[in-house]
Amino acid sequence: MAQRLFHIFRNTPLGRETLLQSIYFCQQMGVLPTVYIPEATKFLMYFENDVVQVDLDPSYLNDPETALTHAEHLLKAAKMKPELFTPKNFTASTLPDIPTNFEFMCCPRSISDLSSKIGLGYIGPRVRRIIQAARFPVLITSPVYKPWQRIAVFFGGSANAVNALRLGIRVATLTNLRLDIFTQAGKNDPSKYRAIVRDAGLEKSLENILEGWTFFEKKRFEDNLYDVPHDALVVLGAYGHGIIRDIMFGSMMEKIQSTISNNLLIAGPKYTVIA
Amino acid sequence: MIRLLKKLKYPGRWSLFRSDDRLLLIVFAVIVGICSGLAALLLNRSLETMLAWLHHYRVYWWAIFLPAAGAALSSLFLEKIVNEGAGHGVPEVIYAVSRYGGLLRLRSGFSRLISSCLTIGSGGSAGPEAPVVMSGAAIGSNIAQAFSLNDRQRVALVGCGAAGAIAAIFNAPISGMVFAIEVILGEWSTMNIIPIAIAAVAGTEVSRLLKGNQIAFAHRIFDIHFHDILACVGLAVFCALASVLLTRALRAMHHLSKGVALPLWVRAAIGGSMVGAIGYLLPYVLGEGYHAIHKAIEGGFSGGLMLVTAIALLKILATSLTLGWGGSGGIFAPCLVIGAFVGLSFHRFMAAVWSSVIWVNEGCFALLGMAGLISGIMQAPLTGIFLVIEISGGYEVIVPLIVVSTISTTLCHYLEPASFYLKDLVEQGQLLRPGTDARVLTDLSIQELLETDCICVHPDMRLADFLDIVKTSHRNHFPVEDRKTRNFLGMIHLDDIRPYLFDPAMHNAVLTGQLMNRHVKSVSLHDDLSDVLKKMNDDHIFSMPVVSDNRFLGMISKATLLDQYRKELMVQTGRF
């Protein structure tokens, strides 16, 4: 079944890097990119129990005459059939509805703020809302096009971390890349984490793809992040812990996104694992 | 503490509500009714304050620019501050209910209250009812989202919000309830009626507690005779014509304004200044216009037939200019004003033509006109009837009310098949009431109808080998795929092999690639089912291949579609 990645094209050099990253992800995963070239700065995404209004940074509407050509050029160069998305439903005449039945979505760190504000440590409120409400994982790209050669999963033991690990296994299997697991164990016994993975029935899936499982026992978590390969796609869960998940992004997630500049594939609390 | 918060977030899991969610909905209906009632009163008070404050300045010539300033500020607020894609409000609520299980944005809970206050308070010709409906509905929706209620419960709470708001603003619980069911939900089910009725009561009580138990228009006793009821038929015709005129004028102004290449706030200001100019000459057209209705019902409106007719027509123009050019507000109050003056005009016309007949007091016709306009423009006769009964406090007008409302609704339906609120949604195919064809098809997807038991064959296969496959299959269609790339190439139907079937010499001579139909029509996984069904009907075909990214995924057939359609219809209508 053809899976799709939804990408909102920003007709700027930064947008080109983001689209290149999406194309790379699609090529690796065998996923079809669906590109939306916005005509208005607003759109709505209706999720299962939430409606998110995305107010795009005006640079998304830059030079509309060349936007289509630029997007098609990048897709054709990657030998991908350009599939452009045109909204069918509108809540108001200037407020299109974007479907939420995609398998993946690509976002830069922020889609509502000026690109000059985007940097490490900042993920915009709309991107956070999308991650919180979406059934699909969100690909947050690095600032420049950066192909990845391995998969790194951050596993903290929560139910959402198990989902993130499943996602990492899926990505590693589809891309034939090796997978590393990183856990900030602290004083906890590593066997506790191994037991969680065993109980989730993931041991067998990991057998052929697991490169190594690193347990950080000393130092602060953010200091240990230097060990994460720079060319890895980092897979992790967000909003993972109980009622706090509805308010907080997750402390581990915040530290990772503010420390490393890798591509991030984030599974939110509503992420539904595809078999 | 965290455990308690978690428990609070999912009230549907409490043992008290687990077996039957009716009690849960009743509890939330009270909360939503109170909140939406408070929102309605807040707007009402703000409008009273703003109108009283600006009243002293109306004597100056520059007051004609007040509606322009209000409409421009209102538009700027909606566009630049809250970033709301502006509309009338009610269609957006109906759209959310019919397509997205009542999901509404939190900002809609307050944005229209502020913007409509600026428009109406400054003199724009619009009503506060649609904004409070939007606000109440958004409050209901967001409370449902916060407590993780399901789609059905959320829709019920959206209805509760609308009912509570209308009930509070008019001190009219039945009207609130009927409006929510007839206009917003479009579905009469006991699951919805009970919480909506309770929310309407809660909204009314909030209003009575904070504003006192006031009836909007003082009760008068009318002595209605048979000839008055006969005359109601004529009044209904006039009301229907006025409703259609208002609907078309609003839409025409909206299209006209869209064609002007100026920012929305400038367009709103242009519309507002034109309203200000009309209002300078005829102040009755400004604002909600309830003071004019008071006079009309009391039978003390001075001026002849020409003046009252002019007021009705100019109110239509002022409302179209206000709302069509970018102001914020609803059409409820303008409809009441226009209806009252249509009623008055009709009475004066009748009194002039048949001067020997003793007609009922003209205030009665003003009331009937109000019901006729509301019923006509919304195509909701019950809302019109109950609203007028409740806001006038009199039951004796019920018979002529029914006559005017039903005839006006029927005539409007002939002239404009969809009501004002639903017109855009119907034109865009977005009105998906439960149990309708469009809704059933929207709730089904090609993925769940996919028949995957087809056997794929390759183009280099001999007919003899293909016949062996046919023997084991129970299907008539066979997709042909490229052996290497697995790309979809075409289809073979059993009819295609019939000419060669009884000629054994051909079995080893013909290849499947020669038999297949390369120009077969296919559908994609993400196509709309209504489009797929149209394609099938147009081409008289019963099944089609589903192809995505050049790969054959399965077949979709009318038989499976009908089977799933029936199941979905039964779920939506609750009839098994």
CA distances to B197, B340, B454, B472, B515 from B465, rounded to whole Å, are: 69, 82, 16, 12, 13
For residues B144 and B191, state if they share a domain. yes
* Contact check, Cβ <8 Å, B549/A2: yes
Q: Cα-flanking dihedrals φ and ψ of residue B305, to 5°?
A: -60, -40
Label the pairing between strands A4-8 and A32-36.
parallel
- Alpha carbon B521 to its chain centroid, in Å, reads 37
How high is the pLDDT of residue B168?
94
More confident residue, B32 or B476: B32
Residue pLDDT, tens place only, B431-488 = 787 777 877 888 788 888 888 888 888 988 888 888 888 888 888 888 998 888 788 8
For B271, how many CA atoms within 13 A lie in the half-sphere containing its CB?
Answer: 36
CA distances to B482, B490, B567 from B544, rounded to whole Å, are: 19, 11, 22
For residues B136 and B23, state if they share a domain. yes
Which residue segment(s) compose the domain that A62 sits in?
4-140
Residue B221 lies in a domain: no
Cβ partners under 8 Å of residue B565, min gap 6:
B440, B441, B444
| CATH number of the domain within which A55 lies | 3.40.50
Contact A274, A103 (CB under 8 A): yes
Q: Cα-flanking dihedrals φ and ψ of residue B509, to 5°?
A: -100, -30
- Alpha carbon B257 to its chain centroid, in Å, reads 22
Q: Touching check for B42 and chain A: CB below 8 Å? A: no
How high is the pLDDT of residue A1?
54
Contact A173, A209 (CB under 8 A): yes
Q: Touching check for B423 and chain A: CB below 8 Å? A: no
Residue in the structure block whose two tokens are 């009243």: B55
Residue B517 lies in a domain: yes
Residue B553: list chain A partners with CB under 8 A.
1-2
* Contact check, Cβ <8 Å, A49/B95: no
**Which residues of chain A fall below pLDDT 70?**
1-2, 114-121, 240-251, 273-275
* Contact check, Cβ <8 Å, B9/A246: yes
For residues A193 and A219, state if they share a domain. yes
Domain endpoint, select from B144, B177, B211 = B211
Q: Could you tell me the two tokens for A150?
A: 């391995």
For residues B420 and B297, state if they share a domain. yes
For residues B416 and B443, state if they share a domain. no
Residue B2: list chain A partners with CB under 8 A.
242-244
Nearest residue of A to residue B254, measured between CA atoms: A93
* Contact check, Cβ <8 Å, A53/B105: yes
Domain endpoint, select from B176, B211, B246 = B211
For residues A114 and A228, state if they share a domain. no
Q: Could you tell me the two tokens for B175?
A: 């009207």
For residues A158 and A224, state if they share a domain. yes
For residues A182 and A207, state if they share a domain. yes
Nearest residue of B to residue A31, measured between CA atoms: B549
**Which string of DSSP letters, residue by residue, matches B556-575?**
EEHHHHHHHHHHHHHHHHT-
* Contact check, Cβ <8 Å, B103/A92: no
| CATH number of the domain within which B246 lies | 1.10.3080.10
* Contact check, Cβ <8 Å, B85/A243: no
* H or E segment to which residue A45 belongs: strand A42-46
B361 three-class SS: coil
**How far away is chain A from the Cα of B148, in angstroms, using its nearest Cα?**
7
| CATH number of the domain within which A231 lies | 3.40.50.620
pLDDT band at B43 (very low <50, low <70, confident <90, very high): very high
For residues A133 and A185, state if they share a domain. no
Domain endpoint, select from A120, A140, A160 = A140
Residue pLDDT, tens place only, B548-558 = 777 888 889 88
pLDDT band at B316 (very low <50, low <70, confident <90, very high): very high
Q: Touching check for B85 and chain A: CB below 8 Å? A: yes
Q: Could you tell me the two tokens for B574?
A: 């609750």
Cα B64 from Cα B69, distance rounded (Å) = 10
How high is the pLDDT of residue B135?
95
Angle between helices B151-170 and B129-146 (to 10 degrees): 150
Cα B79 from Cα B263, distance rounded (Å) = 10
Residue B217 lies in a domain: no
How high is the pLDDT of residue B89?
84
More confident residue, B503 or B365: B365
How high is the pLDDT of residue B40?
92
pLDDT value at B262 more than 60:
yes
Residue A248 lies in a domain: yes
Residue A274 lies in a domain: no
For residues A67 and A125, state if they share a domain. yes
Q: Touching check for A146 and chain B: CB below 8 Å? A: no
Q: Which of residues 56-85 of A touch B (CB under 8 A)?
A: 81
For residues A136 and A197, state if they share a domain. no
For residues B510 and B423, state if they share a domain. no
Q: Name the residue among A2, A90, A243 with its Cβ closest to that of B5.
A: A243
For B131, how many CA atoms within 13 A lie in the half-sphere containing its CB?
Answer: 32
Angle between helices B529-539 and B558-573 (to 10 degrees): 140
- Alpha carbon B485 to its chain centroid, in Å, reads 49
For residues B562 and B492, state if they share a domain. yes
Residue B367 lies in a domain: yes
Which residue segment(s) compose the domain that B79 sits in?
2-211
**Considering chain B, what is the average pLDDT of its residues?**
87
For residues A256 and A161, state if they share a domain. yes
How high is the pLDDT of residue B18?
66
B238 three-class SS: helix
pLDDT value at B574 more than 80:
no
* Contact check, Cβ <8 Å, A51/B104: yes
Q: Name the residue among A32, A51, A92 with its Cβ closest to that of B85.
A: A92
Q: Could you tell me the two tokens for B126?
A: 């619009």
Residue B347 lies in a domain: yes
CA distances to B85, B111, B135, B138 from B105, rounded to whole Å, are: 11, 10, 10, 7
Domain endpoint, select from A140, A165, A192 = A140
| CATH number of the domain within which B509 lies | 3.10.580.10
How high is the pLDDT of residue B258?
87
Q: Could you tell me the two tokens for B430?
A: 């977005």
Task: Please count the other Cβ atoms lying within 10 Å of the Cβ belonging to residue B223.
Answer: 10
Q: Which of residues 106-135 of B touch A (CB under 8 A)?
A: 107
pLDDT band at B575 (very low <50, low <70, confident <90, very high): low
Count of domains forming chain B: 3
Q: Name the residue among A44, A55, A92 with its Cβ closest to that of B86.
A: A92
Q: Touching check for A49 and chain B: CB below 8 Å? A: yes
Residue A112 lies in a domain: yes
* Contact check, Cβ <8 Å, A42/B85: yes
Contact B130, B104 (CB under 8 A): no
Contact A62, A115 (CB under 8 A): no
Q: What number is the average pLDDT over the span B559-568?
A: 87
Contact A143, A115 (CB under 8 A): no
For residues B207 and B236, state if they share a domain. no
For residues B310 and B387, state if they share a domain. yes
AA letter at A220: R
Smallest Cα–Cα separation from B54: which of B281, B265, B279, B271? B279
Residue B103: list chain A partners with CB under 8 A.
46, 49-51
Contact A51, A132 (CB under 8 A): no
Residue B37 lies in a domain: yes
For residues B449 and B423, state if they share a domain. no
Cβ partners under 8 Å of residue B172, min gap 6:
B166, B204, B216, B386, B387, B390, B391
Q: Touching check for B323 and chain A: CB below 8 Å? A: no
How high is the pLDDT of residue B249?
94
* Contact check, Cβ <8 Å, B9/A94: no
**How far away is chain A from the Cα of B515, in angstroms, using its nearest Cα?**
27
For residues A108 and A169, state if they share a domain. no
For residues A10 and A126, state if they share a domain. yes
Nearest residue of A to residue B2, measured between CA atoms: A243
Cα A235 from Cα A237, distance rounded (Å) = 7
Domain endpoint, select from A81, A107, A140 = A140
Cα B116 from Cα B110, distance rounded (Å) = 10
Residue A145 lies in a domain: no
Q: Touching check for B251 and chain A: CB below 8 Å? A: no
Residue in the structure block whose two tokens are 């984030």: A266
Contact A33, A26 (CB under 8 A): yes
Nearest residue of B to residue A40, measured between CA atoms: B85
* Contact check, Cβ <8 Å, B85/A2: no
For residues B401 and B451, state if they share a domain. no
Residue B185 lies in a domain: yes
For residues A125 and A178, state if they share a domain. no
Tell the burial category of B55 from Cβ atoms under 10 Å away from its Cβ (0-12, 13-18, 19+).
exposed
pLDDT value at B216 more than 90:
no
Residue A275 lies in a domain: no
Q: Which of residues 16-45 of A touch B (CB under 8 A)?
A: 32, 42, 44
For residues B412 and B454, state if they share a domain. no
Residue B148: list chain A partners with CB under 8 A.
49
Count of domains forming chain A: 2
For residues A29 and A118, state if they share a domain. yes
Q: Could you tell me the two tokens for B220?
A: 């008068």
For residues B239 and B206, state if they share a domain. no
Residue B525: list chain A partners with CB under 8 A.
1-2
Cβ partners under 8 Å of residue B548, min gap 6:
A1, A2, B524, B525, B526
Residue pLDDT, tens place only, B133-156 = 999 999 999 999 988 888 889 999
Cα B97 from Cα B99, distance rounded (Å) = 6
* H or E segment to which residue B94 belongs: helix B90-100
